[in-house]
Amino acid sequence: MKVLVIGSGGREHGIVWKLAQSSQIEQIYCAPGNDGLGMTARVVPIKVEDLEGLLNWAIGHEIDLTIVGPEVPLSLGIVDLFTEAGLKIFGPDRSAAMLEGSKAFAKDLLDKYNIPTASYKIFTDPVEAKKYITEQGVPLVIKADGLAAGKGVLVATELNEALQAVEEMMEQQVFGSAGSRIVVEEFLQGVEMSLLALTDGHTVLPMTPAHDHKTVFDGDQGPNTGGMGVFSPSHLVDEEMVEKIKETILQPTIDALKAEGIIYKGVLYAGLMLTESGPKVLEFNVRFGDPETQAVLPRLENDLIDLCLAVVDERLDEIRLSWNPQKAVTVILASGGYPLAYEKGKEIRGLDSTGQLDTEDVIIFHAGTRFVDGQWLTNGGRVLAVTALGKDFAQAQKLAYQAVERIEFANMHYRQDIGSKAL
Ligand code: AMP
Ligand code: GLY
């Protein structure tokens, strides 16, 4: 089969890496990709927003299956476009992608079908929003309705910052139109986790649990990022809890969408808070997580192509997922400045010409790199994801950080505590 992966980050490298192990693969392409994953896939210089360009290229190259990494092309309707043209594509269509594309849509759906989530109110008028926030008092969570590259959420512990966030989102429009509507939410206390599931719109198959580390500094301090590291499986979420999340959240959400006339196909990513009164939804993403994918796919024993086709063809009930019992720890190496403005073009030392280390049980996923004149250079905020597998978390963590020690670039930074919670 010829498979096209859409996207350019570490997640897409994870998908490409996993696809490459399939005996069904004839050629993997990735648009626009990056030089690191370009060691395995052929990169195609078409941007993820250029839906017509991608469609024409896929038709011209007789692509059998397309897998979409990021949320933006999903929200723009790439799945609708490819499906109408008769091409198989893995991901939710435009209406289903609203679950991530509009937080107000997601909250209203959860509310209508009594699926556990924080209580909330939606505002389109900044004056009313500020009045409500002042009455309620902090802590509160303020969320821009639309896509804001993971930056549209403020957990406010001071009234001032909450009011300021309303001004920035609604009046100054720092996230563009994504902030013209906001959700103000109850602050939930508990342990945060993400659970990703495959679904064909009917059957829901939870994947192995993973813990992301969103903040930039050790001990969950500092501003939020796209994710600084992951370990998988979970030390907290056993099979019984996964089943409970499926029964109370994942399946009801898919059924609710179906009742609204929407068949959700692809990965449903639930960001959850495990509260004293049970798991509650923080947010949904409509795609694989980054860097969750880089920890989860190395533990997946099924052929990814079989799973994607079962989703697209709505026969996921035939599939059983199988996981390697090894533990995975993934550490993100980030550029100086990230998650704010960051540097690019720094020389990366330690990698071989294929972008890897000659270490068994360690995989280097490239998130933002370029290979120029025989030299690896940084080319993004998150640069590399270093994944190690071990018989237990202690071993996986040790292997991951030993590998990290061998890689170096100017102002590189990373969290030193990925995996520690599981020890
Ligand atoms: P989101 O993008 O909606 O997942 O929000 C980003 C982060 O903000 C989450 O990973 C949580 O750490 C935090 N967060 C979001 N909503 C809430 C909430 N209702 N209560 C507490 N923390 C939240
Ligand atoms: N790791 C968080 C995300 O993929 O959104």
From first to last of its 423 residues, the chain has per-residue pLDDT tens of 999 999 999 999 999 999 999 999 999 999 999 999 999 999 999 999 999 999 999 999 999 999 999 999 999 999 999 999 999 999 999 999 999 999 999 999 999 999 999 999 999 999 999 999 999 999 999 999 998 877 788 899 999 999 999 999 999 999 989 989 999 999 999 988 889 999 999 999 999 999 999 999 999 999 889 999 999 999 889 999 999 999 999 999 999 999 999 999 999 999 999 999 999 999 999 999 999 999 999 999 999 999 999 999 999 999 999 999 999 999 999 999 999 999 999 999 999 999 999 888 899 999 999 999 999 999 999 999 999 999 999 999 999 999 999 999 999 999 999 999 999
Distance in Å, CA 104 to ligand 1 centroid = 14
> Do residues 365 and 10 touch, judged by C-beta distance below 8 A?
yes
Distance in Å, CA 289 to ligand 2 centroid = 4
The H or E element containing residue 369 is strand 369-372
Cis, bond preceding 298 (omega within 30 deg of 0): no
Distance in Å, CA 11 to ligand 2 centroid = 10
Crossing angle for the helix pair 126-136 and 159-166, nearest 10 degrees?
A: 170
Distance in Å, CA 212 to ligand 2 centroid = 8
Whose CA is closest to 332, among 98, 24, 32, 14? Answer: 14
Tokens of 408: 């170096």
Distance in Å, CA 56 to ligand 1 centroid = 38
Whose CA is closest to 24, among 305, 308, 313, 298? Answer: 305
State which of 141, 228, 287 you would mutate to test the pocket of ligand 1, scoring each by most atoms of that ligand within 8 A of its C-beta: 141
Domains 2-93 and 191-318 in one fold: no
Superfamily name and number for 119-186: ATP-grasp fold, A domain (3.30.1490.20)
Q: How many residues does the chain have?
A: 423
For atom 3 of ligand 2, the residue with the nearest CA is 289
Distance in Å, CA 71 to ligand 1 centroid = 18
- pLDDT in the model for residue 152: 87
> Do residues 380 and 386 touch, judged by C-beta distance below 8 A?
no
> Do residues 171 and 103 touch, judged by C-beta distance below 8 A?
no
State which of 283, 286, 292 you would mutate to test the pocket of ligand 1, scoring each by most atoms of that ligand within 8 A of its C-beta: 283
- pLDDT in the model for residue 378: 98
* Ligand with the closest atom to the CA of 292: 2
**Cα(49)–Cα(11) distance, rounded to whole angstroms?**
17
Distance in Å, CA 62 to ligand 2 centroid = 31
* Ligand with the closest atom to the CA of 286: 2
> Do residues 137 and 159 touch, judged by C-beta distance below 8 A?
yes
CATH 3.40.50.20 fits 2-93, yes or no: yes
Distance in Å, CA 154 to ligand 2 centroid = 16
For atom 5 of ligand 2, the residue with the nearest CA is 289
Superfamily name and number for 191-318: ATP-grasp fold, B domain (3.30.470.20)
Whose CA is closest to 409, among 342, 348, 345, 334? Answer: 348
For atom 13 of ligand 1, the residue with the nearest CA is 155
Domain ranges of the chain: 2-93, 119-186, 191-318, 327-422
Q: Which CATH class is domain 327-422?
A: alpha beta
State which of 194, 230, 282 you would mutate to test the pocket of ligand 2, scoring each by most atoms of that ligand within 8 A of its C-beta: 194
* Ligand with the closest atom to the CA of 294: 2
C-alpha of 207 from chain center: 13
For atom 4 of ligand 2, the residue with the nearest CA is 289
- Environment class of 261 (CB within 10 Å of its CB; exposed 0-12, middle 13-18, buried 19+): exposed
